[in-house]
Structure 1
Amino acid sequence: MNQKSNPLSYGSKLTTGGEDQLLEKLVHAINRANEIFISVSFIQKSGIRLLFEALSDALQRNASIKLVSSDYMCITDPTALRDLQLLQQSGAQVKMFVCKGRQSFHMKSYIFVRNEDDTEYNGCAFVGSNNISEAALTSAIEWCLRYDQNTKEPEFKNILNQFDAVFNHSQTVELTDHWISNYIERRSEVKPALQQVGAIDEPKAVPNNAQLEALTALQGSRDKGFKRGLVVLATGMGKTWLSAFDVQQLGAKTVLFVAHREEILTQAARTFTQLMPEQTTGFYNGKQKQQESDFLFASVQTIGQQSHLEQFSAEHFDYIIVDEFHHATANTYRQLLNHFKPKFLLGLTATPERTDQADIIQLCDNNRVFERTLINGIEDKILVPFHYYGINDETVDYQALPWRNGRFDPNEATNAFATNKRATHITEHWHKHHQQRTLAFCISKRHADFMASWFNKEGIPSAAVYSGSTLHRNEALEQLNRGKLSVLFSVDLFNEGTDLPAIDTVLILRPTESKILFLQQLGRGLRQSPETDKTHLVVLDFIGNHKSYLNRAMALLGKNHPSATEINKLKKTPELTDGCFVNIAPELIDFWADLVRMGKTAIQAYQSLSEYLGRRPSASEFFYDGFKLTKMREQQGSWFELVANQEDDAKIQKITRNPVYRNFLLQGIETTSMAKSFKPILLEAFLELDGLRTPPTTEALAQRSREIFDRHPELLPDIRADLQNCSSTDSRWHKYWLSNPINFLSKKDQNHSQAWFTVEHGVFKANINIDAAHINVLERMMQELVELLLALYSDRISRKKEKDKPQVEAKQPESNVVQLPYFPNLKIACGHFKNGTADEAELMEIPTDYNRKDNSRLFLARASGNSMNGGKNPIQDGDLLLLERITSNNAGSISNLTMAIERQDEGGDNQYLLRVVKKNSDGSYRLVANNPEYGDLIANEGMATFARLVGVVG
């Protein structure tokens, strides 16, 4: 019977294995059937892996699946049973035939029905020797005879009836967690028998080199006291496997894995069950609420809601994993993270930049545990090298395409892309560089269909695959892997969460405004594929004359900010690591160079970052992106005024138009002075306690603040030494917290119109009138600014650590000179505070008169200004100053000494000033200039001494 009369089947009725694989015919039938009936003696994980995607897709289109296997000789793999449970949870009916005594169970049948209407159907049944294992479905010599039926004749009805008899047999039981647990125990006693029949499936997975390093780092992080951490692993390096290995390392019994897409959750569940089949797994989403499972895989859209969070105690999970942070709103995750208190929380992402990680790192208590980029993965032989060709998309004028909200209009872009001229251009370059299996990314279904049709006309076997396409995704991948297709043109199906190891060529035919998305598309082809002898990935990227494409070049170079230096590197075909290279058309590099020379305003920086992220940036992301916050405020007034100007967000616009709210956010939070981390920790605790609605007592505020410190062990040194180990309920801690941030945050700053917080009758609250209707949005805006404060402070700590390291090693003299590090950009102001950085250092020789036994803390910088031009030892503008860095070991007294003072401006940049420090009778300090024309300054909590003056180098 031919395929036209029975769309479920094709080819000869007898399948013999090897070149004539049963797998292809089963996948073909699964993708077209309304009803699926499978009965096999045993199932191995290698076999169910080959059928899982097709069966899962069938369930999604509401096909009926009934499957029965057996415990015959305990050959079936428990991991395969867990995969069957995942299908069961999606709607499949799965049962096990329990053999008694020496009873055998040898059924191997696959039955498919396609209903055409109420009276007619097509059917086919494969009956033979094939169980569900990779060998049986592919390479082994296995005979299987197909019976086709396209009407309701008695013989086919008899086949269905006989299946039902087995499926409903008294010895056939439903597959449950309890049954699997008992089966695992029974199976452990019959391993020798399994080995005799060759039923031991592939060995358990083990960590790769990068995962081993990450596991060590994760355990070390926990040993330091961290309860949360972020791991950055490039696409293809095994983030999900790492999380499963770490769950095993920690010995966690209850686990929550959170993601934004069902596909990611299903794949994660399969990973965990493969490693730990003895644990039960379940889903928590819009359809299922299996909250009693050991390992729960939950969609953030569901479990992130307060009503669902309340179904779990705070300590319900030992371990929580949050995957792909960059896809979620911070507020959704924050509700979840504020509710749960696991032994450890792991954030996972593949994004490589600090900009991308700004919100993520806040949620992980500023603890970046481990990071490996694509290049690291290639160097470790986990990923294959890539050959990247940036091809000028000369057939399209991107400047003429409508650009709205950070992306091109898809209809107009499709019209410009789906042309014979562009297709010819693409085909020429594909013929020049392609390998065996190509995955192409298109902007729309119409674009994908056009390209597939064009390539087929050119004699290149191709297909378009997308949601609702005639060819199912799983079948398209199988055909590509087998070589029946050379190119798959896809739309939004393979950006993430899909393992495509055989792909060796990636064709990027669409604009990809987000660097994250671009790296995910690149990563689709970087996985190793020993079966196909893949040596490298070819990437053909068609690049237009538009600013959004600049992100791609920076992504390849691992850079966040495009600069003239980085652009020039591209002209020399940079080699990133062995086997990798980047080749970009010269006219594109020239175009990018012109863009970089133009510079950016705050609005342009905001828009560029929005395009890169694919969404509105947060304040901390904007800070890490490098635009000066002080410059931003000069141009826009405040962060949220910039947001309100750029986003169609009526709620934020309404808040920023209210002068009380605006000043509260700007003065009370965004630009509050910080000597330590206390203020952002206090504000974080206030928000966690729902302080805008129900102002907390100072005791509750102090207690929650201490709990937040416990999540931030790197900030504990800010606390007075004798209180670093005290409990959150200790009265000494409450007293200390009252006298420090609560007191300071409740005072009116000299530059502000009022005190923005107050304490009344032991309750800490905002000192403004807030309309109840505005609380939700004001709370979110506050949270974003608190995260900015923590980012500013964390960056300050990092820069201080770098500064405290000898930037350039001081060398002892061989003759009459000594070499010390000189910082050309570190201007020590003699007048008013002046911005400076210690980002560059060089060695400078000075006379041996200044040599000391220990030169490790000495450095050189220039004076800038005339406030110290007076007294016995005047300091002139431009003098070379010899300074000694202050550390905890050499601090000593500072009174009456000339000191370099450090503070940060509102944008988080360091400023420096040289003054004589005088102590007042009340214990405070004033900063005195040697030049009487300059008045004294009163030291405040935002200032710190960082070096003492040794002398002026003559």
Structure 2
Amino acid sequence: MEVNRNNLLNAYERGFLDQDTHKIGHHPPRMIINSKEENVLSSMLDEMEGCLSFSISVAFITEGGLATLKTALYELAKRNRGGRIITSTYLNFNRPKVFKALLNIPNLEIRVADKEGFHAKGYVFQNDHYSSMFIGSSNLTDAALKKNYEYNLKLTSLENGAIIQHFNSQFEKLWEESTAVDAEWIRKYEQTHVEQPEQRKVLEVIEDRSRYQHKALTGQAIQPNLMQKEALMALADLRKARKDKGLVVSATGTGKTYLAAFDVQQYRPGRMLFLAHREQILEKSMNDFSSLLDESPSEFGIYSGSTKREDAKYLFATVQTLSKTANLEQFNPDDFDYIIVDEAHRSSATTYTKILSHFTPGFLLGMTATPERTDDMEIFSLFDYNIAYEIRLQQALEEEILAPFHYFGVTDYEKDGIVIDDTTALGQLTSNERVAHLMEKIEYYGHSGEALKGLMFVSNRREAAELSQALNMRGYRTRALTGDDSQQVRQQTVRELENGRLDYIITVDIFNEGVDIPSINQVVMLRQTQSSIIFIQQLGRGLRKHDEKEYLTVIDFIGNYRNNYMIPIALTGDRSYNKDRLRKSLIDRNAISGVSTINFESIAKEKIYSSISTTTLNNQSFLKEMHLYLKNKIGRLPALIDFHDDTDVIDPLVILHKYSHYLEFLVKIKERDLAISENDHQVLTFLSKEVADGKRIHETLLLQQVIESPVNMKEFQLDMHRRGYHMTDDTMHSVLSTLTHAFHTQQDLKKYGGPLIEVADDFIHPSSTFSSALENPVIREHIIQVVELSLALSKTYDQSKPLTINRKYSRKDVCRLLNWDRDESSTLYGYKYKHGTCPIFITYHKDEEIEDTIRYEDQFLDLNTLKWFTRSNRTLESKEIKAILQAHKQGVPIHIFVKKDDDEGSTFYYLGEGHIDYRTLEEARMNDGTGKPVVTMNMMMERAIDYDLYKYLESGTHV
């Protein structure tokens, strides 16, 4: 990337002299404070990924802090780039294992400063002619870089700047005085390293406020965590409302069993029944209840297999045993005041319903991490649709209820251009080369804590057995564990892993749920993601907190799998199935809460992009399934706003993009049975296609008011001003033009029918078309649904401006929002100067088959500079070019819109205004063999584009 001297001067004028200056400045000095919107880590990774080299001087380093940089360091190593780190042994904070991990990174040089009280914190990333530096309070720990309240100043300097020269000279001097870290140095450090527990504990509180200690081990009374406290209040409120059933949806590891015990404690039943599907779950649950409830051990009993304590006050039973008729008939329907169903997503099975229909408890509690079913059965009606409390993975991480994790999406083994996919033969899955590749990755990305305790998920039983054998031959201690193994063998194997006699358990899917091994510090996924539910279940095996780990390492080997698109769905919990949101989650470094991070190697990321682009996510059967899930969850036919409000279901716009309107979808899936008149169909189609997305709130608010009574146009404009919305006379004209259909093409008018409004004497009235539709109660209801959805979606846009940076727009959207009097999107090839505006649309990766006349080489030279090409056969004397150049000098804005490739569909990211650098204007010749003239120039972006978006655009289109 380049740094322009004048723009840098302007940026520093804004940063240090006058924040109100209107000069365009790039690379401004910035104070970075960790928040949900940004953090030090994100900014630092932006610089690291593009640098030529780096120099870091930092006192304290943790394994978690280093883990956050490992993928960026791996990508740098592929380009033969690296850096140097000076750290310390100050207060013995840095553990020997950290130095071993540093030494395992090939493109790092490590030295230890011998200065007493060394406490520096400086990060410098060198590029051609300039450097970026971070100076502040953050050590190299995941908490300091992503979560803790820290002050860090980011500065950019040209190579001859005094500050950077001073830093470099001091760093070089310190480097020469410091001791190189190698294997022998680490061996000696291990011998002399002595933990200073109290001092380290204070430092860890400072560096990582999420440090966890088991209360059971510290002798403190077990207290409910934040989630449990809120859930207990919700359950109490449910019972106050005279409800006798409730469902708690809570992420794996958040303490559902203890929550149930706490609720039993506050309910104080005469007798309690706890139902589970496995005996080992019963034993652990009974122990948890016994440790919390102030009752004699004799009051607790198990009902399973050969052990049947029918008289226990607190009875823990397997469903398989209790559901047998002879066993069930030994109990009266009113024997239990309180019944708990563990893993309640199973409760629609016949064995469960048989038990639940037999008993009449005072209260029935269901607990599950995954209420979503994949077998067309639902559980919500069993609990009378009473969802007492819900906490998903993101919230649990944010509240520090779970152990944080660092996820690494790595590229699976590739040979001769062939990558592991859905059809790969077993021999390739366990070949020497793939096993070596696997070992390289798991050793590079490592694990938290001293002893490796890992869980590998593979595709099938034979692979588990052969991979276990192959790893054992290479010095690992592993055991394959599958559904063929008895409960005794499973329990013994788990104990061996916990006791340090095994490094890995290799399994297929028997550990998806119901197994609690808190000490697991590494989860390895060696198979395609079958579903986001299973992915989270398997990830959850390692998310329980444990004293011997600070975080969980997740290593996901990504091949050419069809289902790769499910990975971002699983990691972020975004089940909207909106392709743009899925892509954004891959480029959003803040997509996960707390100190957890999501990291993808570049090729692995491209495989996911490819899967998102090529997968159909809106087929009717899938949309019907999502609709049925939401219907079952809320106990009624969902409205459009219900899809928007529930993060577990598909984005309603996905439905509206496939169908003319929601009512048409309901008829198609046989949820409604009615004939829709042509007029009503056209009205709903217009609203669903032109208003529902909320990109401009004005049309929605006007329709909302017109439905009730005529609207005074001037008063409406004033109301928009009072609310802070962008409103000019041209905007008002555009709104009216949209709703009267004057804006739309003849082709659209065939779909949309007559206008929705009429204007007379400055009053806006509903048209006869719209009035007729409103007279039908069903159609009126669906009109209001679209209005509600539009109002909700409009909040995601900056309504004080016509366009919102980093949101996506079609050419048609832009014509409307820039107040053009007609939809000219069909002739808007690349750019057009009209109505005092000039939008430019760029497809960053052109299709190879596209016409030579419009296949240019537009490119961002850096985050601030776009090298732009006009259409071919244009010169500096061409009429359209002269008009654009002259108009821009007179203040006409140029709006830049970009999409990566045509696989993204018809919408473009809005990147803000560009300003022509007239010094770069030149005529050139097309490099396509035609030699046709073209004009090129640099556009200086008014606002630097987001680095993650820049990387996305720059990355290869095809894998």
Structure index of larger Rg: 1
Question: TM over 0.5, yes or no?
Answer: no
Q: TM-score, normalised by structure 1?
A: 0.44
Taking CA–CA contacts closer than 8 Å with sequence separation of 6 or more, which of the two structures ends up with the larger relative contact order? 2
Q: TM-score, normalised by structure 2?
A: 0.44
